[in-house]
Homo-oligomer: A and B are copies of this chain.
């Protein structure tokens, strides 16, 4: 059983890092949380909101006395943050991250950490909102959400268990995948949908009669495009980091659209209904499975 963390340093106290901090504090799993980041304003907001106890004046100060370091910044910053950390990294400190892509993060970590790579346990919490910054952080963001740990061959069981324990204190459920599996799965069910939603809003917004179109857009459009409210910088980084898997998913999807287009040209109602029905049934089964799992969790199963 893990004892509580004495001090956790969080690089990036926005939605993801801030919610991690709030949940750990509430559960009593940590004595002190230190914030580090690019934006002094965000750090001060996080301190005022009780997300962090202290703003580190330097990377050295943040890293030296911490037993866990969480990197919750856009994924493209992972390598430079790790390079800044490594000179001050004690042998017993565990480093983890919350990035939405994993293969590139592991590459960055290997490049930055060298022979300290065993201390880095990569992870990805499957939770989010379309809002950013410390003001968007929620104590219960991770309750009943999955966290995927993509452990490295070098990781010790104790370090993986410590990271898993921290997330479990936030209410999350631990899964494990390897980095390549992880990236392929999330290209399909998360990264591509974000790109598609951004592309649709961008396409509508560029039309000469965009104002009229937005006037009549309703709840269907609102839900479909909710994820296009997400941070462009964060999603640019994810898109670039996972572009090989995303290209594969994008090509699969545009091939499906080309088939549907041909059905439209041919006015082939039966073929269109087949696709729509298959989608509706698959989604219905998926939602039913989620709801059954949630029910089981509420009733104390696992």
Q: CA of A265 to CA of B218 in the docked complex: distance in angstroms?
A: 34
Residues 200-250 of A contacting B (Cβ, < 8 Å): 200-207, 210, 212-214, 216-233, 235-237, 239-240, 243, 246-247, 250
Copies in the complex: 2
Q: Is A138 an interface residue (CB 8 A)?
A: no
Q: CA of A267 to CA of B232 in the docked complex: distance in angstroms?
A: 15
Chain B residues closer than 8 Å to A214, beta-carbon distance = 189, 282, 286, 289
Residues of A within 8 A of B (CB): 76, 126-128, 145-146, 148, 175, 185-186, 188-190, 192-207, 210, 212-214, 216-233, 235-237, 239-240, 243, 246-247, 250-254, 256-257, 260-261, 264-265, 267, 269, 272-273, 275-280, 282-284, 286-287, 289
A213/B236 in contact, CB under 8 A: no
Chain B residues closer than 8 Å to A265, beta-carbon distance = 243, 247
- Nearest B residue to A227 via CB reads B220
A229/B264 in contact, CB under 8 A: no
B199/A236 in contact, CB under 8 A: no
> Contacts A214-B286, A227-B224 given: A205-B264 contact, CB under 8 Å?
no
> Contacts A197-B224, A203-B253, A227-B224 given: A145-B240 contact, CB under 8 Å?
no
B216/A204 in contact, CB under 8 A: no
